Amino acid sequence: MPADLGIRGAVWATGIVFGLSVIALGLVAVWFDRRTHEPLAWPYLVALCIVAVMLVNQHVQLRRFRDARVLDAFNANMVVGPLMLVGAVLGLMLR
Ranges of each domain in the chain: 2-93
- Local confidence band at 41 (pLDDT 50, 70, 90 cut-offs): confident
Distance CA 36, CA 40 (A): 10
Please give the pLDDT value at position 14.
79
Q: What is the pLDDT of residues 50-79, one digit of tens each?
A: 999 988 888 787 777 666 666 676 677 888
Other Cβ atoms within 10 Å of 34 Cβ, number = 9
Quick check: helix, strand or coil at residue 68?
Answer: coil
Minimum mean pLDDT among 4-8, 45-49, 71-75, 90-94: which range?
A: 71-75
For the chain, give the number of residues: 95
- Going by the DSSP 8-state scheme, the letter that residue 24 receives in this structure is H
Average pLDDT, the chain: 81
